Structure 1
Amino acid sequence: MRIKTYTNIWRIEGILYSIYDIKLPVPVTYAQIGYLVFSFLFIIIFSDIFPLSIINNKLLKHFVIPIGFAWLMSKKTFDGKKPYSFI
């Protein structure tokens, strides 16, 4: 006999399609926004330490790296779980 549980309905990720009246080109999840903010703040705080100090291009340092990190972490799973579930 199987008992049905409905716990998976609470695991739906929130998706942001627009900010006020401005539509985003790509739908963004709240986890991606969190990764983006975390990586952006990390780069601002630790920009004087060695690996980040040799990058002189501001566009690469403050936009491409955080967006790439957010995209990579939102697609990556460890043992079938998202990385933020281990925190």
Structure 2
Amino acid sequence: MRQIRIYNQVFRVEKTVYSMQGVHLPFPVSYRQMAFFVGALFIMILLNKFPPISWIDLFLVKFIAIPVLVAWFFTRKTLDGKAPHRFLLRYLEHFFAAHHFARYRELEHPHRSGYQYAHDIAYRKTTRGES
């Protein structure tokens, strides 16, 4: 079997924002990073009323630093060679899936407990330890 090389990733350039409303940003930001920042900011706003987030009194930490760290982590780091959000989704999918597979197909009777023998079983009783 031959492998055919595909160069789609080479031509897929991530779009980047350099300025917003005429104000230049200190560093270029991709749309993906902006999406993670806005998502984390929205979650922080929702969780602002509940402890332990409500115990943090620093506005910049709560609404700037944490979303920036989340955006940086989810766009720059990899877990097991995958993006962190995809790794977490696959982990949860594996955790909640049936764990009885053979050749990537689910087994017919995964809930059968114990072993079942079709024939008579011969065994020998020993008398060790008895005097």
Which has the higher Rg, Structure 1 or Structure 2? Answer: 2
Please tell me the residue identity of whatever aligns with 1:39: A
The structure with higher relative contact order (CA 8 Å, sep 6+) is 1
Structure 1 residue ranges, 4+ long, deviating more than 4 angstroms after superposition = 84-87
Q: Percent identity?
A: 34
Q: How does 1:24-39 map to 2 (within 5 A)?
A: 24-39=25-40
TM-score, normalised via structure 1 length:
0.80
Q: 1:46 to 1:72 in 2, by over 3 A?
A: same
> In the aligned structure 1, how far is the partner of 2:12 from the partner of 2:69?
24
SS state at 1:53 partner: helix
Shift of residue 2, structure 1, vs aligned partner: 5.3
Give me the TM-score of the superposition, normalised by structure 2: 0.56
Q: Structure 1: 5+ residue runs without aligned partners?
A: none
Please name the residue that 2:66 is paired with.
65
CA deviation string 1:29-68 (max 9, x = no partner): 1111011000100010111121201101112111111112
Aligned length: 87
